[in-house]
Amino acid sequence: MREPEVRNHRGRVFAQADAAGKAFFLETFGCQMNDHDSEKVAGLLLSRGYRQVETPEAASLILYNTCSIREKAAQKVFSRLGEYRAKQSDGKVIGVLGCVAQQEGEEIFKRAPWVSLVCGSASYRKLPEMLTQLEAGNHRVTGLDTDTDETFETEVTRRDNPWRAYLTIIEGCDKACSYCVVPYTRGPERSRASDAILREVRQVAELGYSEVQLLGQTVNSYADPTPRRMRFSELLLAVAEVQGIRRVRFTTSHPSDFTPDIVDAIESEPKICDHVHLPVQSGSTKVLRAMQRTYSRDEYLEKIAMIRGANRPIAITTDIIVGFPGESESDFQETLSLLAEVRYDSLFSFKYSPRPNTPSRAMDDAISEEQKSRRLAVLQEKQREIQSARNAELIGQAFEVLVSGKSRRENQWSGYTTSHRMINFASQGKDLLGTYVQVRVTGAGPNNLVGTQEV
Ligand code: 5AD
Ligand code: SF4
């Protein structure tokens, strides 16, 4: 497999240091924030002369960037650590990064003594020092502080996606949803300086990226720490103005901080994509209160009405948890009726799982696994019908698509519309990857569209 190209922000290609024995393998679990943190960690390692390799066998340093948002994700990490136990005998250094590292802390050394590094995301800014300690042969290196007001800034980021550049604009979370580990694992909310963000956007634009995605657990809670005090909507507009940028995305938005000026910005600037990911979690005000979500069903629906009132259609997607403690059958029915009312373009749905340290862990009225599974299946079936119907309404319309995939089948390509719909399309064109084309929709399923390029 081709070695990833290493570039600094100005596009200079670094020589790949041929440091035998200084090769790292990095596996990432979880959300886009984790994926992007890994891109930054990889950049840091590459700039220190490490090579990135595709298998743990070929590496001297094995890193897992972990996720603990739901139970299964955390379990997976420990089974992965078990699998690599044997490999430690040949002198490999194994490190655990991310949310499980933060959550379990030094317990990891007890449970998996073959691990040498345990570091949560709020401490990544200290990674260069930690690497120095590891390189010096230290076998118990930790970074577990969360009381920071700093963000993780790197000189070099090794970006995985050749078309879309991810940029973290806000780290941590100050909300206190009762089921969620993020405030514990990622620490308090810290916004990056707007000038640093805009500098990075200009840099990625110069490297040839035309789409950027601004990231944060609550991206729209962004609070510029510089005297400019840019609002989130102003930042969106400023990013869209950068020469070479054609699409601006952002995720994840919190309903309580979703203000009308964000909709105004989308309305006034076509480069800001017509898609808002606005997790609701439940359609029942009673459950929302228990979740400490800071809005009621009606308040959420007001936000939806505001978005739907825009002068161009804006796709809305969401996250839903079923089986939160005390969720009655009628609460669940309220979630289903919310789905019917909003008609989401897509959604992610999860069975509730109690997480360490979170307040909801102590709540009783647990819902049985069977009930959770049934509710999840009912919800997903209902959403499937909604998506099939919504997507069918798009047949005959044409959309701009950023081409990001080429099928093995002749003349078949794929990409995303600005509303983040996947579309597979036919085209006689050559070298379409990374270009923008107009595609007319000829067919639709619940999860994607089919079309033909307009000529
Ligand atoms: N159980 C189930 N789902 C959860 N999420 C967060 N915490 C939990 C939990 N304890 C879901 C929420 C959130 C998404 C990223 O993960 O829906 O929006
Ligand atoms: Fe977790 Fe709530 Fe913060 Fe989202 S807003 S990261 S669900 S605490």
User: What pLDDT digit, counting tens, does each position of 375-423 carry?
Assistant: 999 999 999 999 999 999 999 999 999 999 999 999 999 999 999 999 9
Cα(253)–Cα(121) distance, integer angstroms: 20
Residue 4 DSSP class: P
Mean of pLDDT values over 94-122: 93
- Cα distances (angstroms) measured from residue 354 to each of 99, 173, 323, 419: 15, 19, 11, 33
- With contact defined as beta carbons under 8 Å apart, do 269 and 246 qualify? no
- As a whole-number percent, the residues of the chain with pLDDT over 70 amount to 94
The answer, yes or no, to whether residue 17 has pLDDT greater than 70, is: no
Average pLDDT taken over every residue of the chain: 92
- With contact defined as beta carbons under 8 Å apart, do 424 and 413 qualify? yes
- Of the pLDDT bands very low, low, confident and very high (cuts 50, 70, 90), residue 18 is very low
Model pTM greater than 0.85? yes
Which residue ranges have their beta carbon within 6 Å of ligand 2?
Answer: 173, 175, 177, 180, 182-183, 217-218, 254
The closest ligand to the CA of 319 turns out to be 1
Mutation test residue for ligand 2: of 180, 320, 324, the one with most atoms within 8 Å of CB: 180
Cα(122)–Cα(149) distance, integer angstroms: 9
Q: What are the phi and psi torsion angles at 126 (to 5°)? A: -95, 5
The closest ligand to the CA of 254 turns out to be 2
Residue in 108, 114, 24 with CA at minimum distance from that of residue 66: 108
Measured CA angle at 39 (ends 354, 350), to 5 deg: 25
- With contact defined as beta carbons under 8 Å apart, do 66 and 100 qualify? yes
All residues at 6 or more sequence positions from 427 whose CB lies less than 8 Å from its CB, including other chains:
411, 413, 437, 452, 453
The H-or-E segment that residue 425 falls in is strand 422-426
Beta-ladder partners of 248: 212, 272
Ligand 1 contact via 441 beta carbon (within 6 Å): no
Torsion sign, CA atoms 332, 33, 450, 305? positive
CA of 166 to the centre of ligand 1 (A): 22
Query: Closest Cα to atom 4, ligand 2: which residue?
Result: 217
Ligand 1 contact via 124 beta carbon (within 6 Å): no
- With contact defined as beta carbons under 8 Å apart, do 350 and 322 qualify? yes
What per-residue confidence (pLDDT) applies to 414? 97
Helix axes 32-47, 127-135, angle to 10 degrees: 50
The closest ligand to the CA of 179 turns out to be 1
- Cα distances (angstroms) measured from residue 313 to each of 128, 195, 246, 270: 45, 31, 18, 11
CA of 179 to the centre of ligand 1 (A): 7
CA of 69 to the centre of ligand 2 (A): 10
Which of 79-88, 113-122, 239-248 is the least confident region?
79-88
- Of the pLDDT bands very low, low, confident and very high (cuts 50, 70, 90), residue 14 is very low
CA of 29 to the centre of ligand 1 (A): 15
Atom of ligand 1 nearest to the CA of 355: 10
422-426 and 412-417 strand pairing:
antiparallel
71: its two tokens: 């139970």
Which of 4-8, 62-66, 254-258 is the least confident region?
4-8
Mean of pLDDT values over 365-374: 94
All residues at 6 or more sequence positions from 29 whose CB lies less than 8 Å from its CB, including other chains:
64, 65, 66, 67, 73, 76, 77, 98
